[in-house]
Structure 1
Amino acid sequence: MTPESDDELWSAIGDPSRRRVLDLLVRRGEASASRLAGQVPFSRQAVSKHLVVLEQAGLISRRKHGREVLYQVDAERLDQATRAMAELASQWDGRLNTIKRLAEAAHAQTRAQTQEHEA
């Protein structure tokens, strides 16, 4: 993944409405914008805009079936996104553990100094 595609990915999944549309596609397998709009509390136009963003991020693709456009999840890209998110979560876990250790060490040092002054 490139930094640009990462940005598109985070932007795409950063919106709760888009995540809901993506989740519907994961569960349904394939659906039209109209069908999706019938299952969410926002308009078909809003669904269409969310689908464009998800498609630009590579998370979904579309195909024409007669006059209807059907959308489906790109499983490979979703898997890449899942791995990227897991990697980022792991990095942040490491960073947060480092911050915790530093904070605990600083607290212990401050406590020891306070006890020295009180003695």
Structure 2
Amino acid sequence: MSENNQLRDVFDAIADPTRRRLVRLLAEAEEVPLHELTAQFDMGRTAVSKHLTILKEAGLVHDRKVGRETRYRLNAAPLREVQDWVAYYNKFWHANLLRLQHLLEEDEE
């Protein structure tokens, strides 16, 4: 577990397309009530809540009660782990594509 005391792995949390869509919706707004998020999906409030719980366990989502309403906001900091992982492989592909380019240039000569 990280310093955020995450209960769930970030990669596991974003593995599902519905949760990735929730992350995107939350990234586009400062804070979104549950009923507005639910309206974006072909599923019930309970199913959306379960996805939000998984994102919350990974530290990606924070919620707060405002009266009887729950509002959600994105905490993108845990996504840094994903960015770092992708960056490593970006370097790998860049180096391999450079080697391929050199080989192709040698064949042209």
CA deviation string 1:75-104 (max 9, x = no partner): xxx1341x3223212222344567776xxx
> What residue identity is the alignment partner of 1:87?
D
Corresponding residue for 1:57?
58
Q: 1:89 aligns with which of 78, 81, 86?
A: 86
CA RMSD of aligned residues (A): 2.7
Q: Does 1:17 align with 2:22?
A: no
- Tell which has more relative contact order, 1 or 2 (C-alpha 8 A, sep 6+): 2
More helix by share: 1
Q: Secondary structure at the match of 2:64?
A: strand
Could you tell me which runs of 5 or more consecutive residues in structure 1 were left unpaired when the two chains were aligned. 106-119
Q: Which runs of 5+ in 2 are unaligned?
A: 104-109
How far, CA to CA, are the matches of 2:39 and 2:14 in structure 1? 21
Q: Judging changes above 3 Å, is the alpha-carbon distance between structure 1 residues 7 and 49 closer, same or farther for their aligned structure 2 residues?
A: closer
Question: How many matched pairs?
Answer: 98
Superposition deviation, residue 12 in structure 1: 0.9
Contact 2:63 2:70 in 1 (8 A): yes
Please give the per-residue CA displacement for 1:10-65, whole angstroms capped at 9, x wherever unaligned. Answer: 01111110011111111122122222111122221110001100111111111110
Structure whose alpha-carbon radius of gyration is higher: 1
TM-score (norm. length: structure 1): 0.66
Question: TM-score w.r.t. structure 2 length?
Answer: 0.71
Where 2:77 maps in the other structure, the secondary structure is: helix
What amino acid is the match of 1:57? A
